[in-house]
Amino acid sequence: MTTCKEVSEIVSQSLDRDLGLHERVRLRLHLLICRGCARFNRQMQWLRDATKLATEAEQVAGPGLSTAARERIARRLDDRP
């Protein structure tokens, strides 16, 4: 039987590479019986999706604020009571 530690490593590796059939089967079987690992897997999937969305949003938004704009914002924040 696959341990929770092994599953956490497999889940982490799945973010960087495609898993082989044996790894996918071991992972699925363990996730069916272990609520903690299933939760960890969902959290990692959520983080991967959120990171992907943030990266896509940056590409769509184009370049960030200019240096002058950043300085204006910083001055206004410093002037707040």
Bigger pLDDT: 80 or 3? Answer: 3
pLDDT of residue 12: 93
C-alpha span between 27 and 10 (Å, rounded): 7
3-state secondary structure of 81: coil
Amino acid in the structure at residue 27: L
Q: What is the pLDDT of residues 57-72, one digit of tens each?
A: 666 666 677 888 888 8
CB 30 within 8 A of CB 37: yes
Query: Rounded distance, CA 28 to CA 12, Å?
Result: 14
Max intra-chain CA distance, the chain: 61
